[in-house]
Chain A
Amino acid sequence: MLKTLLCGTALLALTAGAAHAQVSNNVIKIGVMNDRSGIYADLAGEGSAIAARLAAEEFGGKIAGAPIEIVVADHQNKADIAANTAREWIDAGNVDVIADVPNSAAALAVQGITKDKKRIFLMSGPGSTDLSGKSCSPYGFHWTYDNYAMAAGTARALVEQGKKNWYFITADYAFGHSLEEETSKMVKQLDGKVAGNVRHPLGTADFSSYLLQAQASKADVIGLANAGGDATNAVKQASEFGITQSGQSLAGLLLFISDIHALGLQASQGLLLTTGFYWDADEQTREWTKKFEAKAGRKPTMVQAGVYSAVRHYLKAVEAVGSDDPDKVAAKMRETPVADMFTKNGKIAANGRMFHDMYLAQVKTPAESKAPWDYYKIVKTIPAEQAFLDPAKSGCTLVK
């Protein structure tokens, strides 16, 4: 009985396969991998999976008769778990494309595997510029932001206000180091200087001693080269220690709207930050946010909006090529401009960097904020060419 059933299913699978020979295993399988339980779970987490599902829904859940399936995994911010999951997904799970992967250490591990195994990798969460630099891949697309863009936006704005002397509080792993390095470079390039730095372990609760060292440095700006819960604890305790009242400025080099929400405007007002997406930017973003919020119960972060945009662009390319062959799809993705609610004029460069405009935003005061999540004033739009590093200087060997 079981045997006949199995044979039947196999036969069915075969005939179905013949009809859509172009799509491998007759399913377009998208793996959304990120931190689902740790400090980055609110800025990526399930929200990124929801964003990917919203993109799939726009195609009616299937392309060329092949259903779009979305699977999720928690990498727990560990590079080894990320690498194992990616291998398992590709070797045994028939996953065609991996999306999101915040935490640069995890993303670098996945980039290596997807490059070897020729699978497309859509990076929305990670920030390290190496991902489109010396560790670039023909299949890797770096979508939402990177550390250079953060430095270019926030650091340039502050240095131009005359705040030239910087001190860094840095998360002690790949992402923090890269963010600090990019920002230092930008500060020095604009004739500023770096007074010093201190490195803290990922997931630190008490920042008082680092803040005290930063305060003692007498720098104009204390740059927070960290993210998520680390950044929020640092900002909250900086206000407790009277850092900003004493004339020093605080620069959150990577703050997400979920962090501002967690901090409350009282503690975060006046902070300058760079972001790739703001839900209240225009009619289109508000409309998409409504759909997202209905499912997630909160507004999207730039990482989640970026997952939507990247997955949508990937699916459009699959649809246009009529196949999920990674080489063909990657080529198609590169030649097609990106236009959706996330960006109006996005372009993918040879190193895999998606060029789009960024925003310099300032956090509103409690009096200015009219509604929940009404947090940002857009100070200016940073054009894509200024926001991101010139691919020729990225160190990526794919750029000729």
Chain B
Amino acid sequence: MFDLLGVPPQVLFGQLLLGLINGSFYALLSLGLAVIFGMLNVINFAHGALYMIGAFVAWLLLTKLGLGYWWALGLSPLIVGLLGVVLEKTMLSRLYKLDHLYGLLLTFGLALIMEGAFRHFYGVSGQPYPIPDALKGGQNLGFMFLPNYRGWVVVASLVVCFGTWFAIERTRLGAYLRAATENPVLVQAFGINVPVMITATYGFGVALAGLAGVLAAPIYQVSPLMGSNLIIVVFAVVVIGGMGSILGAIVTGLGLGLLEGLTKVFYPEASNIVVFVVMAIVLLIKPAGLFGRER
């Protein structure tokens, strides 16, 4: 067997696959952020907290109502999405005319409130959420043991990411959305209800976060802190990909997941900063991000 810089290939392949799994989480979360920023020009700092709420809703459905994983997969994004609609209608919609900073501050405050509330009621250690029976066990791939559930996460998030990209870039509805962000007044003049469309977009973006939360629940402890652990990395992904670029968010999310996986093999201590090193380099060379357009 050949070794690559002292690392046996089965370890390397294993890490790359794990990187892909983490990358699909990054992709799913940064996709929601990119959609919201692209359409609403709001930097949604509450994204991590809404991801956490997605996981908690799944846990509450299971423990309080006895509704299992597959129910949660549908219901939890719906509930988080509705919460998003309420937030947009009552608060965010007042800020569109102001600087980006106000949206960021508002959503940051909301995130702290949501996290604090869950921490107060459920503590920080987290709650256990079992892997659904249909996805228990795993496959021996020769170079590693792949739990079925992780395989499912990759497939599910790739399908959702591609579906979202297709809907926005290739359908008529997506065309309206993109047009409305370029020139809302003109689009409204054509008889399209722009404010409703914007509300729906925000709801959809945070529903993606809720979905990521449900997908994450069986892997991580369902804990109030789970969102804040992830959100900073996800923001870095969006910045590297180019703010508002859908494709950029997906490709960068997966790519950085892989890069992080490699770092964990060669120099594990740096695994939590490698993303930011890349961010700094990208910002120096291409300030609009890899897939962003200069405005």
The chain A residues found within 8 Å of chain B, CB to CB, are 37-39, 41-43, 45, 172, 198-201, 203-206, 208-210, 212-213, 215-216, 228-229, 232-233, 236-237, 240-242, 246, 258-259, 261-264, 266-267, 298
The chain B residues found within 8 Å of chain A, CB to CB, are 8, 10-11, 14-15, 18-19, 21-22, 119, 123-128, 130-131, 138, 144-145, 147, 149-150, 218-221, 223, 225-226, 229-230, 261, 264-265, 268-269, 271-272
Min CB–CB distance A243 → chain B (angstroms): 9
CB pair B125–A213 under 8 Å, yes or no, is: no
Residue of B whose beta carbon sits closest to that of A243: B145
A-B contact pairs, 10 of them (CB 8 A): A43-B125, A200-B268, A205-B230, A216-B11, A216-B14, A228-B125, A237-B219, A240-B219, A241-B147, A259-B125
Would A201 and B271 be within 8 Å (CB), given that A213-B11, A242-B138 are in contact?
A: yes
Min CB–CB distance A320 → chain B (angstroms): 38
Residues in chain A near residue B149, CB distance under 8 A: 240
Would A229 and B269 be within 8 Å (CB), given that A41-B123, A259-B125, A267-B128 are in contact?
A: no
CB-contact partner of A42 in B123, B218, B226, B264, under 8 A: B123
CB pair A209–B265 under 8 Å, yes or no, is: yes
Residue of A whose beta carbon sits closest to that of B130: A266
CB pair A39–B138 under 8 Å, yes or no, is: no
CB pair B128–A262 under 8 Å, yes or no, is: yes
CB-contact partner of B128 in A38, A172, A200, A264, under 8 A: A264
Min CB–CB distance A329 → chain B (angstroms): 34
Cα distance A237–B220 when bound, in Å?
A: 8
Min CB–CB distance A227 → chain B (angstroms): 11
Residues in chain B near residue A241, CB distance under 8 A: 138, 145, 147
CB pair A37–B119 under 8 Å, yes or no, is: yes
Residues in chain B near residue A39, CB distance under 8 A: 124, 225
CB pair A204–B272 under 8 Å, yes or no, is: yes
Residue of A whose beta carbon sits closest to that of B136: A240
CB pair B126–A232 under 8 Å, yes or no, is: yes
Would A38 and B221 be within 8 Å (CB), given that A212-B18, A241-B138 are in contact?
A: no
CB pair B221–A240 under 8 Å, yes or no, is: no
CB pair A262–B221 under 8 Å, yes or no, is: yes
Residues in chain A near residue B126, CB distance under 8 A: 229, 232, 262
Min CB–CB distance A364 → chain B (angstroms): 15
Cα distance A240–B18 when bound, in Å?
A: 13
CB pair B225–A232 under 8 Å, yes or no, is: no
Cα distance A82–B56 when bound, in Å?
A: 32
Cα distance A199–B268 when bound, in Å?
A: 6
CB pair A37–B18 under 8 Å, yes or no, is: no
Cα distance A266–B128 when bound, in Å?
A: 9
Cα distance A340–B129 when bound, in Å?
A: 38
Residue of A whose beta carbon sits closest to that of B140: A242
CB pair A205–B128 under 8 Å, yes or no, is: no
CB pair B272–A201 under 8 Å, yes or no, is: yes
Residues in chain A near residue B223, CB distance under 8 A: 229
Min CB–CB distance A76 → chain B (angstroms): 12
Min CB–CB distance B137 → chain A (angstroms): 8
CB-contact partner of B18 in A209, A242, A266, under 8 A: A209
Residues in chain B near residue A258, CB distance under 8 A: 123, 125
Would A208 and B225 be within 8 Å (CB), given that A216-B8, A237-B219, A258-B125 are in contact?
A: no
* Closest A-B pairs by Cβ, 6 of them: A262-B125, A264-B128, A209-B264, A42-B125, A201-B272, A41-B124
Would A212 and B144 be within 8 Å (CB), given that A205-B220, A205-B226, A240-B219 are in contact?
A: yes
Residues in chain B near residue A41, CB distance under 8 A: 119, 123-124
